Amino acid sequence: MTDYSQCSILVVDDTEENVDILVDTLSDLYDISVATDGESAMELLQDFTPDLILLDIMMPGMDGYEMCQRLKIETRTAKIPIIFLTALSEAQSEEKGLRLGAIDYITKPFNPFLVKARVKNHLELKMHRDNLEMLVQQRTSELELTQEITIESMGTLAEYRDPETGGHIQRTKHYVRLLAEKLRHHPRFSHFLTGEVIDSIYKSAPLHDIGKVGVPDHILLKPGRLTEAEFEEMKKHTIYGRDAIAKAEQKLGNRSFLHFALEIAESHQEKWDGTGYPNGWAGERIPVSGRLMAVADVYDALISKRVYKAPFAHSKAVAIIKEGRGSHFDPDIVDVFLEVAEEFRRIALKHADFEEERMALRE
């Protein structure tokens, strides 16, 4: 049996006799609060959210219709069920109230049995709806967590192949989110970079180098400069990554949670002037996610220690990114990068792999 003793009801009526009847009828079952006009009711609702409102229509000042309308346009109070209390019997009045968002009417003089029954029915519906919403939120959170864990696990595969890049995955995803957040109000990007898209790109960034699992060890881990043939093989990591993610995405359908991961894996080595790989895409042909990743990836490669090079100073890395504006990188993304370069430095310091990198970042 459902326990309604914790449910709260706000009674709003300017007639003392009506209030007394409703309180006597319902107070042994629910927690009752009372307001005698619309203005004081709105003040009460600033501090608590009842499970249901019994609202008189004909009141001085703010009438029930106006109060209902105001409650329904505010996010915090929009879902509170409202039952109108009225002596009016005209269908037009009922139609207006229901159109404004009320769920029912109780007519005066009150029948205590009917009042109890209608209140109970609507509280049951509300609790059922709330439970469904909570269940949906729980399942959505579980799904999002599963997706994030899947991406992190797949990204770790590339990290195991190249143990020097452990912090690279963490740093680059934070760089990408920082750039995207700064660009979300830019005229060129505002239509695309919504909060949901930015979150998806941030979560997908760890898969940008997943294709490196297909690159032979003697190339991937070579301590010196790659030969031309070896570099051609290294470049295939973008294709390997794209194809691996595409196979998974086929089973999930279009616009799956891997959509941006596929874009990033394939396009993060493309260049604004079309001289990148694997497709030689240029300008707007390169997905926004890939353009963001390109700046993040190059900066991090520059400031990171590798078997074949020492970490570059932060200032030098910034200068190289600036030099690539309009050739290697989207010029607007570079402009934003230059604005937030110090924040890039802080992210890099927080997730640095080696003390040598921390020292270089301070230069």
Question: Is residue 241 domain-shared with residue 184, that is, in the same domain?
Answer: yes
Question: Is residue 303 domain-shared with residue 193, that is, in the same domain?
Answer: yes
What is the DSSP code (8-state) at residue 354?
S
Q: In the predicted model, what is the mean pLDDT of residues 287-296?
A: 98
Q: What is the pLDDT, as a whole number, of residue 121?
A: 93
Residue-wise pLDDT tens digits, 64-75? 999 999 999 998
Residue 184: partners with Cβ closer than 8 Å, 6 or more residues away:
190, 193, 194, 195, 198
Structural domain span for residue 100: 8-134
- Say how many C-beta atoms besides its own lie within 10 A of residue 225's C-beta: 9
Residue-wise pLDDT tens digits, 41-64? 999 999 889 999 999 998 989 999
Query: Taking 50 as the threshold, does the pLDDT of residue 325 lie above it?
Result: yes
Question: Is residue 62 domain-shared with residue 129, that is, in the same domain?
Answer: yes
In a domain, 142, yes or no: no
Question: Is residue 179 domain-shared with residue 74, that is, in the same domain?
Answer: no
Q: What is the pLDDT, as a whole number, of residue 355?
A: 85
- Say how many C-beta atoms besides its own lie within 10 A of residue 9's C-beta: 24
| CB of 245 closer than 8 Å to CB of 262 | yes
Note the pTM of the prediction, 2 decimals.
Answer: 0.65
What CATH number is associated with residue 94? 3.40.50.2300
In a domain, 291, yes or no: yes
- Say how many C-beta atoms besides its own lie within 10 A of residue 325's C-beta: 18
Reported as a pLDDT band with limits 50, 70 and 90, residue 162 is: low
Residue 100: partners with Cβ closer than 8 Å, 6 or more residues away:
65, 68, 69, 72
Q: What is the pLDDT, as a whole number, of residue 151?
A: 74
How many domains does the structure of the chain reveal? Answer: 2
Q: What is the pLDDT, as a whole number, of residue 255?
A: 64
* DSSP-assigned letters across all residues of 65-108: HHHHHHHHHSTTTTTS-EEEEES---HHHHHHHHHHT--EEEES
Question: Is residue 239 domain-shared with residue 318, that is, in the same domain?
Answer: yes
In a domain, 64, yes or no: yes
For a pLDDT cut of 70, what percent of the chain falls above it? 92
| CB of 198 closer than 8 Å to CB of 174 | no
Lowest mean pLDDT among 178-192, 264-278, 308-322, 347-361: 347-361
Report residue 325 as tokens.
């504006």
Q: What is the pLDDT, as a whole number, of residue 148?
A: 73
Residue-wise pLDDT tens digits, 7-24? 999 999 999 999 999 999
Question: Is residue 77 domain-shared with residue 220, that is, in the same domain?
Answer: no
Query: Taking 50 as the threshold, does the pLDDT of residue 168 lie above it?
Result: yes
Question: Is residue 89 domain-shared with residue 237, that is, in the same domain?
Answer: no
Q: What is the pLDDT, as a whole number, of residue 174?
A: 96
Write b or e for each residue in 13-39: b if 16 or more Cβ atoms lie within 10 A of its Cβ, otherwise e. bbeeebbebbeebbeeebbbbbbbbbe
